[in-house]
Amino acid sequence: PDSSTVERSDKHGLAAGAAAAAPSPDWTIPQGWEQYTADEHAVWKTLFERQTRLLPGRACDAFVEGMRALPIGADEIPDFRRLSDVLMKRTGWQVVAVPGLVPDEVFFEHLAHRRFPAGNFIRKPHQLDYLEEPDVFHDVFGHVPMLMNPVIADFIQAYGEGGLRAQRLGRLPQLARVYWYTVEFGLLRQRDGLRIYGAGIASSYTESRFCLESDSPNRIRFDLERVMRTRYRIDDFQETYFVLDDLEELLALSRIDFGPLYERLGSGPEYDPGDVLPQDEVIHRGSGSYHHPQQEG
Ligand code: HBI
Ligand code: FE
């Protein structure tokens, strides 16, 4: 893409299609913090306040601690420079601005270098509950607090490194499921109960309750190969959540040699999002009432 044609001042509120012209080879753009409007800060405030009310007793301790130590508050969209200052000291991560979804290899390259690409735009008031591309609320509120945790910090870097390799080996769909069912939609069994650590849930008003309180979804103990064989839903609540007993489990995952696993994954079954298998350690067997409502009569 020809960066010279991109109008740098025109970058807020860009959604689908906006990323078509990459402003630079690594797709980063200035956050343009000074250009956010009062209305945009107000959308952030609405999202921040309703989510912050919901998370006590639902988000895991690491999330709450990360959030507390960061310059993230209700009144304004956070400034990535200030987030990066704090993150850098704690775990060596930075937050860089991108216009929306970026190509897989660009995404991985950033993660491998401990740069988290965050959308700089914020959803419109009519999109509070769902949008297709990650915006600043999902990326900053959902992901950045967990990047303060050293285990998650290393795991996401390893995912970036592994992503580049998986792509070369044609195994990206399988690896992406690990990210999906952990970093985005993971649950954690804390001493005091099931908690959220996945950013896709932590930033969602509706799913943060559904994932813990609904009897509809399955909650199954995380198993790496099982997860890599399991398709996921991108446009609705998950039918199954995978549960870690300890975030430290991710530490082992970032050191695993996926080579032999990729070999095995070349054959054998693939599972649907709602499948429950005989070998699963089932924490809650979902009723399926949300995704598969029973017909009357
Ligand atoms: N780009 N900005 C952004 N954020 C993501 O989470 C993201 C992306 N590009 C590709 C991507 N995720 C993935 O689907 C990979 O994890 C496979
Ligand atoms: Fe995300």
3-state SS of 28-94 is CECCCHHHCCHHHHHHHHHHHHHHHHHCCCCECHHHHHHHHHCCCCCCCCCCHHHHHHHHHHHHCCE
Residue 39's domain spans which residues?
Answer: 24-284
Compute the 3-state secondary structure of the chain and give helix, strand, coil in percent, each to the nearest 5: 45, 10, 45
Relative to the CA of 104, which ligand 1 atom is closest?
10
Total domains in the fold of the chain:
1
Quote the ligand 1 centre to 176 CA distance (angstroms).
9
Closest-approaching ligand to the CA atom of 176: 1
Is 5 within a domain? no
Is 295 within a domain? no
What distance in Å separates the CA atoms of residue 46 and residue 36, rounded to the nearest whole number? 15
One pLDDT digit (tens) per residue for the chain, 297 residues = 333 333 333 334 444 444 455 568 999 999 999 999 999 999 999 999 999 999 999 999 999 999 999 999 999 999 999 999 999 999 999 999 999 999 999 999 999 999 999 999 999 999 998 888 999 999 999 999 999 999 999 999 999 999 999 999 999 999 999 999 999 999 999 999 999 999 999 999 999 999 999 999 999 999 999 999 999 999 899 999 999 999 999 999 988 889 899 999 989 999 999 999 999 999 999 999 999 998 654
Is 293 within a domain? no
Taking CA atoms only, the protein residue closest to ligand 1 atom 2 is: 101
Residue among 101, 131, 159, 182 to mutate when testing ligand 1 (max atoms within 8 A of CB): 101
Q: Do 118 and 58 touch, CB atoms closer than 8 A?
A: no
Taking CA atoms only, the protein residue closest to ligand 1 atom 10 is: 104
Measuring from each residue's beta carbon to the nearest atom of ligand 1, which residues come in under 6 Å?
A: 98, 101-102, 104, 107, 117, 134, 176, 179
- Compute and round to an integer the Cα radius of gyration of the chain: 19
What distance in Å separates the CA atoms of residue 224 and residue 291, rounded to the nearest whole number? 24
Alpha helices in the chain (DSSP H): 38-54, 61-69, 80-91, 104-112, 136, 150-169, 172-179, 199-202, 207-213, 224-228, 249-255, 258-265
Pair type for strands 193-196 and 94-98: unpaired
Closest CA to 145 of 185, 176, 116: 116
CA angle 176, 182, 185 (to 5 degrees): 100
What distance in Å separates the CA atoms of residue 139 and residue 135, rounded to the nearest whole number? 6
Is 6 within a domain? no
* Residue 134: CATH number of its domain: 1.10.800.10
Quote the ligand 2 centre to 186 CA distance (angstroms).
12
DSSP 271: B
Is 245 within a domain? yes
Closest-approaching ligand to the CA atom of 234: 1
By annotation, the residues acting in catalysis are 138, 143, 184, 203
What distance in Å separates the CA atoms of residue 1 and residue 3, rounded to the nearest whole number? 6
Is 290 within a domain? no
- Give this complex's ipTM: 0.97
